[in-house]
């Protein structure tokens, strides 16, 4: 018993010694870090540019090379933020730019004062590379661009769309440089994912704007997606077969004369579906040499039928003449 108590006391003392050691170690590290960060350092950073105050009737064409390499001198505390976040600077097209017939020209000498105002007072700018930048621009044009929905829909068993998915709007107005607009043929949405769908769909989804077209102006950044969902069921009908493209000098006998067609439609439309709304053919001209059967295919089906398939894959035939 005494030995156990003695052992626990020794363990407690050791633990406290370790805790005191770790505390002094953390304090030492903190003091060292503060000492380091309070000193002056010189570093070079690449700054991305945010273009502001561009005239509405013009569009500046995006260029990935539009960046500034700036060497600054300041305390370590100030430099920390540039290491953890991408540094950005504003380029004001109403103040810092010289305009020509085809490009805007930014120069270090003209824009230095406005640029330095975006830094804290204790930061010294030592160098800026390059000395100048050219921004090509174009007069704005307007184009209506269609929208494509990206979706991942999983329906509850027995449920499906009763009609097409409705997008509002299905195309949007885009304003920008004609050269860019010519390359933009469609705008995709973010993927709309829905599971176990058994009720009507009504969702808003964001448009996916490629970075290459970030300089264009889009009338809106999201659309409304709606669709009617209904209970569906499967039916089967016997549809007569029509043989086409048989040469005039041949007479065929074939079996069966009709095929079973299974189809999938909503409960509301089930009783409106009939045999005369389907058409199944076998095209004799598609027979390969030595083939002794015809392949049936559905060439007409009701618009209210979602899926239809033929259960018999081959139609046997013989030539009697």
Q: What is the pLDDT along the chain (321 residues), one digit of tens a residue?
A: 555 555 655 554 555 555 554 555 555 545 544 555 457 778 888 898 988 888 877 778 777 788 999 898 887 677 777 777 888 889 888 887 888 888 899 888 888 888 888 888 888 888 899 988 998 887 788 899 999 999 999 999 988 888 889 999 999 999 888 888 899 999 999 999 999 999 999 999 999 998 888 878 898 999 999 999 998 989 999 999 999 999 988 888 999 999 999 999 988 899 999 999 999 999 999 988 888 899 999 999 998 898 899 998 899 988 876
**Please, what's the b/e burial string for 234-253 (b: 16 or more CB within 10 A of its CB; e: otherwise)?**
eeebebebeeeeeeeeeebe
Q: Give the pLDDT score at 251.
A: 87
> Is residue 51 located within the same domain as residue 95?
yes
Alpha helices in the chain (DSSP H): 2-37, 76-84, 108-116, 178-181
Question: Does residue 96 fall inside a structural domain?
Answer: yes
> Is residue 191 located within the same domain as residue 153?
yes
CA distance 290 to 56: 71
Question: Does residue 274 fall inside a structural domain?
Answer: yes
Q: Give the pLDDT score at 31.
A: 55
> Is residue 81 located within the same domain as residue 162?
no
Q: Give the pLDDT score at 35.
A: 55
Total number of domains constituting the chain: 3
User: Any idea what the CATH number is for the domain that residue 261 is in?
Assistant: 2.170.120.30
Tokens, residue 106? 């930014």
Question: Does residue 110 fall inside a structural domain?
Answer: yes
Is this structure's pTM higher than 0.75?
Answer: no
> Is residue 157 located within the same domain as residue 112?
no
> Is residue 167 located within the same domain as residue 205?
yes
CA distance 293 to 282: 10
> Is residue 67 located within the same domain as residue 113?
yes
> Is residue 246 located within the same domain as residue 218?
no
CA distance 176 to 144: 12
Q: Give the pLDDT score at 84.
A: 78
Question: Does residue 147 fall inside a structural domain?
Answer: yes
**Of the residues 80, 111, 138, which one is the last residue of a structural domain?**
138
Q: Is 194 exposed, middle or buried (CB count within 10 Å of its CB: 0-12, 13-18, 19+)?
A: middle
Question: Does residue 157 fall inside a structural domain?
Answer: yes
Q: Give the pLDDT score at 32.
A: 47
Distance of CA 117 to the CA centre of its chain: 37
> Is residue 192 located within the same domain as residue 245?
no
Question: Does residue 2 fall inside a structural domain?
Answer: no
> Is residue 54 located within the same domain as residue 127?
yes
Question: Does residue 307 fall inside a structural domain?
Answer: yes
CA distance 59 to 214: 11
> Is residue 134 located within the same domain as residue 44?
yes
User: Any idea what the CATH number is for the domain that residue 220 is in?
Assistant: 2.170.120.40
CA angle 168, 174, 175 (to 5 degrees): 155
Parent domain of 173: 139-230
Question: Does residue 201 fall inside a structural domain?
Answer: yes
């Amino acid at each position: 018993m005494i030995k156990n108590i003695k052992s626990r006391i020794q363990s407690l003392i050791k633990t406290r010694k370790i805790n005191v050691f770790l505390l002094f170690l953390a304090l030492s590290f903190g003091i060292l870090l503060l000492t380091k960060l309070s000193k002056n350092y010189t570093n070079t950073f690449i700054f991305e540019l945010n273009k502001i105050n561009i005239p509405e009737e013009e569009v500046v064409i995006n260029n990935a090379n539009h960046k500034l390499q700036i060497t600054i001198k300041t305390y370590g505390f100030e430099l920390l933020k540039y290491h953890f976040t991408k540094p950005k600077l504003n380029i004001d097209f109403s103040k810092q730019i010289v305009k020509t017939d085809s490009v805007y020209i930014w120069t270090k000498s003209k824009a230095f004062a406005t640029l330095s105002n975006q830094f804290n007072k204790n930061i010294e700018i030592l160098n800026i590379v390059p000395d100048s930048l050219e921004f090509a621009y174009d007069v704005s044009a307007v184009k209506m661009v269609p929208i494509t929905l990206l979706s991942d829909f999983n329906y509850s068993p027995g449920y499906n769309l009763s009609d097409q998915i409705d997008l509002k709007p299905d195309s949007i107005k885009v304003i920008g440089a004609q050269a860019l607009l010519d390359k933009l043929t469609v705008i995709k949405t973010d993927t709309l994912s829905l599971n176990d769908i058994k009720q009507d769909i009504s969702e808003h989804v964001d448009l996916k704007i490629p970075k290459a077209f970030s300089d264009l102006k889009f009338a809106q950044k999201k659309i409304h997606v709606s669709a009617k969902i209904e209970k569906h069921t499967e039916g089967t009908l016997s549809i007569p077969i029509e043989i086409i493209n048989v040469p005039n000098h041949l007479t065929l006998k074939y079996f069966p004369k009709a095929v079973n067609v299974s189809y999938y439609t909503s409960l509301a439309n089930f009783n409106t579906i009939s045999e005369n709304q389907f058409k199944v053919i076998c095209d004799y001209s598609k027979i390969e040499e030595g083939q002794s059967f015809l392949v049936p295919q559905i060439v007409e089906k009701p618009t209210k039928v979602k899926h239809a398939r033929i259960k018999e894959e081959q139609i046997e035939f013989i030539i009697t003449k």
